[in-house]
Structure 1
Amino acid sequence: MPEEIMTLKEVAEYLKLAEKTAYRLAAEGKIPGFKVGGSWRFKKEAIASWIDRQTGSRWA
């Protein structure tokens, strides 16, 4: 199964954040992401792992 890649808008919705907040967190390196042609992209599994580290538990 291929890894799911999310856009900034999708990760903001997933984390229930404003897009501006998600952008700032990504730009500051506080959430795991990478840029493709100037646009932020996020691996869903990396975000889920980040949540686990923040909460100490598994959400899925």
Structure 2
Amino acid sequence: MEDRWHSVEEVAEYLGVKKDTLYKWIQRKDIPAHKLGRLWKFKLKEVDEWVKQQRDTKNGR
């Protein structure tokens, strides 16, 4: 797995959600995102871990 920064568009497609949804998650500080200048960037490893935590929280783990 490559360790590069991904854009909002790439992560939205990766997660199968709209960019607006991703921006809402960023605003609520839910999803791990890093602001570089004016752009939000993501590491897929952090996003995958966040998704796993969300799933575990909903399943009572």
Using the size of structure 2 for normalisation, the TM-score is 0.79
Structure 1 moving runs of 4+ over 4 Å: none
Partner Cα distance (2:49, 2:4) in 1: 14
Structure 2 CA distance for aligned equivalents of residues 20 and 40 of structure 1: 13
Shift of 1:4: 2.6
The alignment-based identity, stated in percent, is: 32
**What pairs up with 1:26-41 in 2 under 5 angstroms?**
26-41=26-41
More helix by share: 2
Shift in alpha-carbon separation, 1:18–1:2, aligned structure 2, 3 A? closer
Q: Tell me, which stretches of 5 or more residues in structure 2 are unaligned? A: 57-61
